[in-house]
Every structure is written in structure tokens, then in C-alpha cells.
Structure 1
């Protein structure tokens, strides 16, 4: 059997040269690109799909988590800056729901994915960010051991090279950093990662009859399973209405491989299996939900374009955020913003939440700039769910709010590094913090 082929060498056309190249158009990438571009830097945002939003759109999350925190018993929005601009644009399009309570301890905020896509396009245009859709990153070329020179991408026009002075990896999987040779970790040290899910939405629900169905569905699930009529991939359901009330989002799948471990989003074969498995689980869950009052005439209106990946590579940075940092509401001198979301561990068969002390604590931890800087490189940042965190801490700071925070800081840091002729690790933290606050970001230095 043929195990490898030797490809002929070739000259790869250069697509262009930029001050800042951002890989990945999720919340971290959106904020990074806007932040860099508004600082006056030529910026390219590279996205594999034909729309922005990352897991929020491509995986159908339809729900902003981590924008708010429970501050001594008072629910407050703690993520601002670029996030505010995007939220306002989604709201003007009629696609933003009011925040809804979760467990009586915090809130999340639902949105319409179509409005998110349009709002993100508008935001990029307003900041003069150049966006390249349908571009899949494939490798890097180094200038030296410490500097990335170019990112190779595959497009419908063929293979191209993106040359930039600085790079920000917001790929979620840490692809760019890993190709460059950055150290990274996967899972909890025993190969266990957070389980992926496939999100879907139902339409045709009667809002009046459904009422607070999310409170009754767990009991109905338990009854159906005891009667042997259904088997559910996990215990804790998330079934909540969208703004219209007739449409609800459903998060009740859990994708495991043949060994029972979480599917690996960086393994092409497992990722393919996960897509089909997710749809099989959705068919069963949707059938069960028709038994819920108000859901009798429901139907699947949308299955997310891709599996929702929660964890793959976590790139080792100058600092690694820990579980204790989250639960103890840690402070850092180099804060770039805050995370107000608890630990949300998608474990085998269930979801486990671990909270800071509420309402005794301020309910959020600082996110240090150092978690975005891989120490091996001078012109590379990592922002989003692949930033430097332990397995447990990543279950909290992987959500939208923290991703906005890390991305916005990385984009401004790239500008400051170019302006001062220094490295990612060498920028002045005071200048970064002042710049972030000038953009409206909240650094967690009051309350």
C-alpha cells in the first residue's frame, strides 16, 4: 500500500503583504482584526467559511456566553470594546435577544445567526479590514526560528502565501502556532478533551404552551429513558427560545469516538465521523422533543454547518490560566479584560459547572496578556480557545466573552509591537491597557 507521495517543489504566489494577518473569523479573530485595523494597520482576516462568527455561526451556538458576570450578586456586562460595536449592529438588525438567566447565577444572550453574519460584515467594512473567505490555512514559512514570515492558504484560486509583519492565531485549534513549532497541550493530560456537540434549531413551537419548557425537559428525559424509549448522549439539556419564541435552540448531543473519548477536532477522520454521529443524535433528540408540550408540531429548521468543537490544542504561553484563577477570581497586573464565565466541563455523559463563590465574590477573573504570547516567537499571538490555559480553565475562558477580550488585546498589541519595533513579549503593558480602555474595554480594575 502506498503510504506517502513526494510532491514536486513549486513557487507559491504571494497574495499580498500586510502589517497584521489574523487567522480565524470567530469572536477572537473579529476583535483582533478590528482592533489592529482601527489602530491604522493594514489587516487581513482569513476565514475558512463564507461568513464570520466562528463556532457562534458555523457551529450554531446562537448564544453569547461570558459577556456578563455576577458581581457580588449583581449581573453586569463586563466585556465591552469591539464587542459593544458588534452587539449594537446585531441589535439594529433585530437579531439580539435580551439576556436570559442561567441557574439563577448568571446570564447568556441569544442572537440570530443571520444577523450576526451581516453585522460582522458591516463591522469589518467600517474598520477597513480586508477579509478573505473560503481560505483554509495549510502551513507556515519562518523568517527565523522566532519569526513567522508567511502563512500558506488553500483557496479556490489555488495555493497562496500571505506575508505579514505580525500574525494572530485565532483559529481555535492553534493551527498556525502549531505549524510554527509552538509548544501546546491537548486535554487533561490523559487524552480527555471537552466533548464536542452538534447544535440544531427547531421551529414550529407554540411559545405559550411551551412556557419554561427548559425546566420540565430534564424530568421528561429521565422518564423517557427509564421507560426505555430513548437514550440520551448526555444528561444536562440546553433547550432555550430564540427571540421569535417559535424557534428554539437545542444543545443536547455529545460526540464520542469508538473508545468513548471526545472526538478530536484536529483528526480529519474523527471529525468526519463526528458530523454524521451528531446528525443521528439530533434525529433522536428531535423526535423526543415532540413529546414536550408546545413542541408537538416542531421541526428541525437548521443543523449547524459543522460540529461544535470546545477544545483541541491549547498553546503554551508566558502564563497559563488555571482552574484556581477562575474560581478564586484572580487578578493580574497585565490584565487585558475579564472572564466572568464559570468552569463548564463537558464530561462523559454530562456537563459539570463549577462556580466562583456567588454572591460573595466579584464573579470574574482577570485575563493576563501573557496568556496570548507564545514565548518561542517574536511576532505571533494566540487568542481565543487555543490560548494558554489549563484544561479546566479553558472550559471557562473558551466562551465568547473571553475570546473577544483576548482578540481585541492581541490586535492592539500587534500594533504597539510594530510601532515600537519590539516583540510580542516586549510591548509596554501600560500602553496596551491605556489603549484598550480608550477603545471602551473593561479591564476589571474597579468593582
Structure 2
């Protein structure tokens, strides 16, 4: 039966402000998009539901940049540059950035302190005079045929409206695009999405005694399950040290519904149950870790504000990046950045990684501008995990490195469209590419692969 409905009385909504560019979502894509647009001289507003920036990297406690690097013919290179480099430098100046570490013997990731990330992101946006509206949850749009007229947001001051010439959806869930009527897909189109996780951090570890515990923990997990003392929702666990060896980040968890399918990040009831179950799983993982040498006196120092969501809506644009593109290290004439992360699929009970051939391949695929431009809406761009990708392609290019690259391109494209009095779909991509390269971004194509880590 249909749910009961309530007729909401018509009301006048206060106009919060008028901008040239409005960005919804303050994760890596949103940070880069807002900075890029403001850097080009455009009045820019970044809208974020929490009181801090970083997206899943802070709100879900990920504490780890993936996809900044690529394994290029067997050698590691940091292939995501530009605005990401500026942000990382600011985190590093706060002594909040780890050296890159090896994952699966094949690719680098880079851990950071979440407090340093939040502070550095604030500083970066302030330096480029980006307006920020925190504690504002996107709630809908008012359309003018194929254009978004205003974005509605819910705040402690009530509902307010934001008007902009161009909007950029960096919500992660494709909220803005969906409200505007852009076509999208959800998960694998058969009801399955990648499983969420509840990350957490431990303190009080004895670093000398713990040593390289991440190498020994898998065998200890198998032994504990065989003995019947512990059960784990997924096989592949992440237990790695932060900047200070006494603090480690942990992810043992996987959140499923009663039927075994993944908890949906766009269903509030499922999210509610997922949050509660995630904390329960975190405590169970912690109880096991207390049996690991070096962790006997550890304690949970942080459970993040929300569950870590990997996949919900994927908005359909002019091109959908595929798993074949990732594994084949695809090139595109309209490339605006690159992704060096492999396919990372969170399936029932496990995590599977699929890499391009190593060391035979260059280890990264290019990201086409068309994946940032949705079908049917003239003044909207999207960047981040909700960009135009297949289920398999998104398993790779959803990570922070590619999100930074997409965001910088989207913000730059919005500024170009405004400068040329055109819509984002019709900008001169060659001019966008030239501008990105001049600003220090690596887009592949004919550029030399950046040296260093």
C-alpha cells in the first residue's frame, strides 16, 4: 500500500544567497571543485551537511587517501596533482600526513590525521575566498525547464534557497542530480551495492610490541574463527598505524541487511540500522584485537559520525567509465585527470582487488570530461563517486584521488562556461585541459608522468 502523505502548505523560502557556482558536498571532489571555481574568480559557495570538510575521509573516518598514486610499469608515482597537492602540503605542515605505504605489494595509499585534514581544508578554502555553508542539508531543487533555478537546503534557521548560475553535485549520492531529474543508476542495477563499513580508531597500542601487526592479523583471524571464539563479517581487514604509532585505524566491518544484501546509503531506515550494527561490529572487532600482541591495553578513541558509504546513485553522463577502461588503462581525447586505483569491489564477506597488468601497463586510466556532464540538465556538473561510471568502473574511480581530479576539472569547467556564456556541455575541452595543466594537474595525454611520491 502507498505511504500516507501530508500536504505541506505553500510558503515563501528565504533566499540565502546568489552565486555564480554552488557546490553541494564538501568531500575531496567538492573541496577541489569549489577551490577551482573560486580560483578562476567566480563567486562560489560550498554547502556541506556537517560542520567540517573531507567527506567520507573525515565523516566516515577513512583516514587514508587512495588513488593519489599509480603503479607505472612497476614504479610508484603520484599522479593526482593540482589542488590535491596544495591540500596535502597544508596537512603535512600540520604534521598530519604519513609517508605513503604499500597496499597488497602493488599500490600506495597515504594516511592522514583527520583533525589536520579538517583544518587544512578550511585553510585552503579560505585562501581562495570560497564561501562555506556548514550544517546545511540539501533538500530539493526548483527547476526552470532544463536548468536548476535554486537548490533548497535545510538549516537550523529553517529552509533556505541558494541560487546559482551553475551547480556542481559532489554529494556522493547524486542527490542534486536526482532531484533535478537527471537519469541515474543504483549499484549493479539488480539491487546490489558495494557494502558499507564502520571505520574506527584505536589508541594505547604498544608500537614496538605490535610491530607489523597487519601482516600477522589475517592468520590470527583464521585461528580465532576456527576456534569459534570470534566471527568476522569480512575476510579482509585493515589495521594500520596512524602518524603516531600508538594510534591505529581499523576496518573489520561490513554492513548488510537481513537478506544479506548491502545496506543502502540512500535509505534512511537501512542507514539507521547500519549505523547501530556498525558500532556493534566495531566493538566485536575491538574485543578480538585486544588479544593481539601490542593491543592488550588499547581502547577505542574514535567512532566516526557516520557509516562509510561506497556506492549509491551513479548519474548517467555523456560517457560511463567502465571496469574495462580501468583494467585497460584507457585514454580519452577529453581527459581531465587520471585514476591509478584498481577495481576494489566490496562483495559479500570480502574485498576483491583487480589490477591492470603489472608491470606491463602504465597503471592508470584517464578520466573523460563527459563523465562529469549529466544528461538532460544544462547547468549541472557532477564529480566524485556519483559521476558517470558503471558499477565496476566506480569501484575504482570512487576513491579520493580520482575525486580530487574530477572536482578540480568540474570547478574549472564551470568557470569556463561562465566566461564563455555557454553551458558546461559545450565548453572547449581543449581550453579546459590547457588550464588544468597550467595549474599543475596531471591529465595524462601527452604529459610526462610526474616524478616523486
TM > 0.5 between the two? yes
Aligned to 1:72: 73
Residue 367 of structure 1 pairs with residue 367 of structure 2: yes
Cα deviation for residue 108 of structure 1 reads 0.4
Do the aligned residues in 1 keep the contact of 2:183 with 2:375 (CA within 8 Å)?
no
What are the equivalent positions in structure 2 for 1:170-249 lying under 5 Å apart?
170-249=170-249
Following the alignment from structure 2 to structure 1, what is the Cα–Cα distance between the partners of residues 272 and 97?
32
Following the alignment from structure 1 to structure 2, what is the Cα–Cα distance between the partners of residues 354 and 224?
28
- Structure 2 length-normalised TM: 0.98
Aligned to 1:34: 35
Aligned to 1:114: 115
Please list every run of 5 or more consecutive structure 2 residues that lacks an aligned counterpart in the other structure: none
Aligned to 1:126: 127
Following the alignment from structure 1 to structure 2, what is the Cα–Cα distance between the partners of residues 124 and 131?
8
- How many residues of Structure 1 are paired with residues of Structure 2 in the alignment? 446
Aligned to 2:320: 320
Do the aligned residues in 1 keep the contact of 2:147 with 2:377 (CA within 8 Å)?
yes
Q: Deviations over 1:259-303 (max 9, x none)?
A: 110000000100000000000001100000011111111110001
Following the alignment from structure 1 to structure 2, what is the Cα–Cα distance between the partners of residues 438 and 133?
31
Cα deviation for residue 2 of structure 1 reads 7.9
Cα deviation for residue 189 of structure 1 reads 2.0
Following the alignment from structure 1 to structure 2, what is the Cα–Cα distance between the partners of residues 420 and 2?
47
Aligned to 1:437: 437
Cα deviation for residue 441 of structure 1 reads 0.2
Cα deviation for residue 186 of structure 1 reads 0.7
Please list every run of 5 or more consecutive structure 1 residues that lacks an aligned counterpart in the other structure: none
Following the alignment from structure 2 to structure 1, what is the Cα–Cα distance between the partners of residues 375 and 422?
14
Q: Deviations over 1:15-63 (max 9, x none)?
A: 0100000000000000000000000000000000000000000000000
Aligned to 1:95: 96
What is the RMSD of the two structures over their aligned residues, measured on CA atoms? Answer: 0.9
Do the aligned residues in 2 keep the contact of 1:96 with 1:110 (CA within 8 Å)?
yes
Do the aligned residues in 2 keep the contact of 1:375 with 1:425 (CA within 8 Å)?
no
Aligned to 2:414: 414
Following the alignment from structure 2 to structure 1, what is the Cα–Cα distance between the partners of residues 3 and 199?
38
Q: Deviations over 1:174-218 (max 9, x none)?
A: 000000001000111211100000000000111111111001000
Question: Which runs of 4 or more aligned residues in structure 1 lie more than 3 Å from their structure 2 counterparts after TM superposition?
Answer: none
Following the alignment from structure 1 to structure 2, what is the Cα–Cα distance between the partners of residues 176 and 294?
46
Do the aligned residues in 2 keep the contact of 1:384 with 1:402 (CA within 8 Å)?
yes
Following the alignment from structure 1 to structure 2, what is the Cα–Cα distance between the partners of residues 171 and 133?
14
Cα deviation for residue 84 of structure 1 reads 0.5
Q: Deviations over 1:94-125 (max 9, x none)?
A: 00000001111111000000000000000010
Aligned to 1:18: 19
What are the equivalent positions in structure 2 for 1:336-415 lying under 5 Å apart?
336-415=336-415
Following the alignment from structure 1 to structure 2, what is the Cα–Cα distance between the partners of residues 358 and 292?
34
Do the aligned residues in 1 keep the contact of 2:338 with 2:405 (CA within 8 Å)?
yes
Following the alignment from structure 1 to structure 2, what is the Cα–Cα distance between the partners of residues 23 and 423?
19
Aligned to 2:9: 8
Following the alignment from structure 1 to structure 2, what is the Cα–Cα distance between the partners of residues 311 and 375?
20
Following the alignment from structure 1 to structure 2, what is the Cα–Cα distance between the partners of residues 120 and 222?
40
Following the alignment from structure 2 to structure 1, what is the Cα–Cα distance between the partners of residues 167 and 149?
9
Following the alignment from structure 1 to structure 2, what is the Cα–Cα distance between the partners of residues 359 and 397?
20
